């Protein structure tokens, strides 16, 4: 991975776009005023310099910029509006930038969050730089530090740690100790080395990283696609559990959808559609060496569905998703799926024998009457839901540790029609080919 070079690249690109001329001085400039620089190759050139900005690229005044007050085309001498901090000697690299000095300052202010001078020696070897003034400034963790004077001038490093204590810790050390009195800047350009390092670690993992996957491929292995084309509930695949006047029937209404219609009329009616077969979809990482010893890696359950009136449902019992028992409700142990909250918005939850974790409001009550595609994805150490292909949230705690049934369980809590319309259902696992 390339690190600690982002600012340097951005700086060069910006300077290239602004640069009208790059040169090297051929004689020493004025002293003791330090307000001129000389380049005889400019003799006879038209005055494209006055009013522009002179940026010093080497020497004792490295990175300093001043506005060009005048240009003498007979000597190649440029006089600046205010003196530099040191004499501009022969052999100094400089640029003429297509902007007035004030404009350059505005640009630099946009690019630079802080300019300062170190107040003490940093760690031996370049592991830190110290500036007590930073204790009064915001935290610049994640920005970049640019050394502007001394033997390591020009070096750029990502900042990896809080700076409000007066110490800047680079992601990788500077070339050597940054001593007291060194000028530096902190740029407004941010990188995220820690996050990048975390991604690299996952990619390098011996079990699921890139090297482990060499010569392998993930293969979807569909097990069930229910389209209701038989226009009936197939007892070899699905079972029903009905309480009171609850119903579960095939319905050809609402074309083009073929669907099963779970219904109730009176309070406490129930209608449950459940899968006859359980599926291996254990997300809990308690299984030792799950990744090495499991053939099936990722489990998917998706379905198209809409509600008639979710307000009439019992929002302490309604459940749809994966359950450890065929009559699973919201309070059943070892479930992953969707349940209603106290406001009848739809949450995604995972519950083991101890507790539950919820991703709240994945679909709001006002949207439940529309057809949506719901998906549950179970993978080692995580369950995640998707609504119309958009993630509604991932859960990594309170994960079940059991095979589970697909369940749609309507429980009524008032008179009316809280019907559930279930369209296409698809269930499948992914394995790995080696």
Q: Is residue 223 part of a domain?
A: yes
Domain encompassing residue 31 = 6-99
Residue 339 lies in a domain: yes
Query: Is residue 109, in this structure, part of any structural domain at all?
Result: no
**Whether residues 296 and 224 fall in one domain:** yes
The whole-angstrom separation of Cα 78 and Cα 82 is 12
Is 251 inside a domain boundary? yes
Which of 71, 74, 72, 76 lies closest to 40 in space, CA to CA?
A: 76
Residues 165 and 28 placed together within one structural domain of the fold? no
292 vs 186, residue with greater confidence? 186
DSSP string, 160-195: -S--TTSEE-BSS--SS---TT-EEEEES----HHH
How many domains does the chain fold into? 3
Same-domain status, 149 and 290: no
Q: Is the pLDDT of residue 304 over 90?
A: yes
Give me the mean pLDDT over the 341-356 stretch: 94
Predicted local confidence at residue 264, as pLDDT:
86
CATH number for the domain harbouring residue 50: 2.40.10
User: Which tens digit of pLDDT belongs to each residue from 97-114?
Assistant: 887 766 766 666 667 889
Q: Convert the pLDDT of each residue in 47-102 to its tens digit.
A: 999 999 999 988 889 878 899 999 999 999 999 999 999 999 999 999 998 877 66
Q: How confident is the model at residue 220 (pLDDT cuts 50, 70, 90)?
A: low
Same domain flag for 154 and 233: no
Residue predicted with more confidence, 196 or 5: 196
**Cα separation, 319 vs 273, whole angstroms:** 11
Distance set, CA 433 to CA 62, 135, 209, 299, 362 (Å): 59, 56, 15, 16, 34
In sequence order, what are the beta bridge partners of 294?
A: none
Task: Tell me whether residue 65 is in a domain.
Answer: yes
Percent of the chain whose predicted confidence (pLDDT) is above 90: 61
Are residue 400 and residue 282 in the same domain, yes or no? yes
**Helix boundaries (H) for 338-418:** none
Q: How confident is the model at residue 1 (pLDDT cuts 50, 70, 90)?
A: very low
pLDDT in tens, 229-268: 889 999 999 999 999 999 999 988 777 777 888 888 889 9
Give me the mean pLDDT over the 107-126 stretch. Answer: 87
């Amino acid at each position: 991975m390339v690190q600690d070079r982002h600012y340097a690249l951005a700086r060069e690109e910006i300077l290239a776009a602004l640069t009208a001329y790059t040169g090297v001085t051929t004689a020493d400039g004025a002293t003791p005023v330090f307000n001129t620089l000389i380049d005889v190759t400019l003799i006879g050139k038209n005055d494209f310099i006055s009013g522009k900005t002179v940026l010093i690229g080497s020497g004792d005044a490295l990175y300093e910029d001043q506005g060009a007050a005048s240009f003498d085309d007979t000597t190649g001498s440029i006089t600046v509006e205010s003196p530099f901090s040191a004499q501009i000697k022969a052999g100094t690299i400089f640029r003429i930038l297509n902007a007035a000095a004030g404009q350059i300052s505005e640009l630099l202010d946009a690019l630079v969050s802080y300019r300062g001078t170190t107040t003490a020696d940093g760690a031996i070897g370049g592991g830190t730089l110290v500036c007590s003034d930073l204790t009064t400034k915001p935290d610049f963790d994640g920005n970049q530090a640019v050394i502007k004077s001394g033997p390591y001038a020009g070096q750029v490093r990502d900042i990896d740690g809080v700076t409000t204590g007066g110490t800047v810790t680079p992601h990788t050390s500077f070339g050597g100790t940054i001593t007291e009195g060194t000028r530096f800047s902190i740029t407004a350009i941010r990188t995220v080395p820690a996050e990048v390092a975390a991604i690299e670690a996952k990619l390098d993992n011996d079990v699921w990283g890139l090297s482990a996957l060499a010569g392998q491929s993930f293969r979807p292995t569909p097990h069930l696609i229910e389209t209701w084309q038989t226009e009936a509930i197939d007892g070899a695949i699905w079972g029903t559990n009905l309480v009171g006047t609850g119903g579960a029937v095939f319905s050809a209404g609402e074309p083009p959808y073929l669907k099963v219609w779970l219904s109730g009329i009176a309070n406490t009616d129930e209608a449950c559609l459940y899968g006859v077969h359980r599926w291996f979809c254990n997300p809990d990482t308690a299984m030792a060496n799950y990744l090495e010893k499991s053939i099936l890696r990722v489990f998917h359950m998706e379905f198209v569905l809409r509600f008639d009136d979710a307000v009439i449902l019992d929002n302490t019992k309604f459940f749809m998703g994966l359950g450890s028992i065929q009559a699973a409700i919201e309070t059943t142990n070892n479930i992953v799926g969707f349940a209603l909250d106290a406001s009848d918005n739809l949450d995604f939850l995972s519950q083991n024998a101890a507790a539950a974790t919820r991703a709240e409001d994945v679909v709001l009550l006002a949207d439940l009457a529309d057809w949506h595609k719901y998906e549950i994805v179970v993978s080692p150490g995580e369950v995640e839901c998707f609504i119309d292909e958009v993630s509604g949230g991932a859960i990594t705690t309170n994960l079940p540790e059991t095979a589970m049934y697909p369940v749609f369980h309507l429980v009524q809590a008032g008179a009316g029609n809280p019907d559930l319309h279930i369209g296409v259902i698809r269930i499948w696992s992914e394995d790995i080919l080696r």
